[in-house]
Structure 1
């Protein structure tokens, strides 16, 4: 099966009242884990590559691995750029074969964010690639992007309405209390704000920084209109923790396959659990 645009998956999720998991991939084993988990759960899935992943693995490797993974499973798979920050970077990913891109202009003024996003939408839509944008700043650290807690601010519902109208973007990432990376305490999501935004914006809503958000809160966010849930940190934790366990148990092991293989299986189980929480199991 060929890679599909994220917009196709999210439109179905919005109609069905569930969310599609968007899982960040940094190496071959995690790409394999995402595909295996989605196939096992018969769920649509989104593979995401951040700027850090592209820098580490190379855009050609990531695109090739995602295409191979999509061809080997029976469920729909999208390849999405996570937090693209420039028009040039987004165009590079589209040329490479990404089926979806995110342009993150949240650091700009509303006017400039609209202009940048609109420019990306015009080009991407012409070649069948879907576009996600962000309004409001989501705290924490994502690769080279860092937002201090003092600088993070929640998405204004009225600005969201104007932004979506002016950009015609396919999906909108909003800031309602989540953060990238590990949480120091339990996040408190602003469900009233989410509900207000959803009443003004009739496109799929995206929840970033969802690792560490309690299961009940994620389910409530989905009930209120979130259709795409991003997971990265939890996968890293499961993967690396299993690597450490194997190395501790077998300190003389030098075969990377015997270390990374169990780590891949740990990632599969974590991703399958998330898919079930999101309600997308059996939706492929």
Structure 2
């Protein structure tokens, strides 16, 4: 089916108590694995791209991969731009075929962040795509963006309400104690803050920094309104380690397709485990039916 807009999907997820798994793609094979894993569970999925990945390939290449996989699939697939600070790149994504875009101006003061986000809101409306924006600073490393623990700023629920009321977001990214990358020690997630923000904004929350969180943490966050959960670092490690493991087990095998398939299967298994963990299994038919009702 065609790529879908993220806004109605996350509203459905929030209203029905599950979260959509969002994975940062690496190549065509990982896109294929995401979609096939979602198909196996009859679930929606979000394929995300970082700015760095777009720079390495191109807008056109990435769109062609995701469209090819989605159009041959019966499940809803979103192509989303993750953390981006470049408004020109954001607009190019919306023009080229992304169905959701994210502006990350969280490093700036509230008013400046809001002003930049409003510019992206205009782009989202122009191209009829979903939009995510961020308030507060999430610690850790996300591609080339680094936020030290001492520089992280938890999101204030009152500021969150002002921000979301002005933007009509598909997803709201905020700092609630999670971190990008692997955790050093036990993460301290502020569940009361998640609940307060969701009550104040009534906007599906995007939980960033999903790698390394416990099943209990995911369940509590999703129950409080986290409708999108991002997984990136975990995928990167499986992507590389799966090849290492195959080569150790098969040191004399130089058939590339067998190596690639081993990597594909390992990544696909990872995708399926998170999709099911977040409650996405068998949610695709209900979401598609909800689209018909609102058409």
TM > 0.5:
yes
For structure 1, the residue ranges without an aligned partner over 5 or more in a row are none
Deviates most, 74-83 or 137-146: 137-146
Partners of 1:170 and 1:9 lie apart in 2 by: 9
Q: Deviations over 1:119-159 (max 9, x none)?
A: 11122113211100001111111111111111111111111
Could you list the structure 1 runs, at least 4 aligned residues long, displaced by more than 4 angstroms after superposition. none
Partners of 1:133 and 1:84 lie apart in 2 by: 10
1:208 aligned to 2:203?
no
Q: Is the 8 A contact 1:18 1:227 kept in 2?
A: yes
Partner of 2:266: 266
Partner of 1:195: 195
Q: Is the 8 A contact 2:43 2:275 kept in 1?
A: yes
Partner of 2:142: 142
TM-score normalised by L of structure 1 = 0.97
1:133 aligned to 2:154?
no
Partners of 2:151 and 2:171 lie apart in 1 by: 23
Deviation at 1:256, TM superposition (A): 2.4
Q: Is the 8 A contact 2:94 2:123 kept in 1?
A: no
Partners of 2:74 and 2:220 lie apart in 1 by: 29
Partners of 2:230 and 2:269 lie apart in 1 by: 16
Partner of 2:48: 48
Deviation at 1:25, TM superposition (A): 0.2
Partners of 1:133 and 1:52 lie apart in 2 by: 18
Deviation at 1:240, TM superposition (A): 1.8
**What is the count of residue pairs matched by the alignment?**
284
Partners of 2:257 and 2:57 lie apart in 1 by: 18
Query: 3-state SS of the aligned residue for 2:83?
Result: strand
Deviates most, 232-241 or 128-137: 232-241
Deviation at 1:86, TM superposition (A): 2.0
Which aligned pairs between 1:144-183 and structure 2 lie closer than 5 A? 144-183=144-183
Partner of 2:24: 24
Deviation at 1:80, TM superposition (A): 0.2
Q: CA RMSD in A?
A: 1.1
Partners of 1:273 and 1:280 lie apart in 2 by: 10
Partner of 2:276: 276
Query: 3-state SS of the aligned residue for 1:236?
Result: helix
Partners of 1:24 and 1:218 lie apart in 2 by: 18
Partner of 1:67: 67
Partners of 1:56 and 1:86 lie apart in 2 by: 16
Query: 3-state SS of the aligned residue for 1:169?
Result: coil
For structure 2, the residue ranges without an aligned partner over 5 or more in a row are 285-295
Deviation at 1:60, TM superposition (A): 1.5
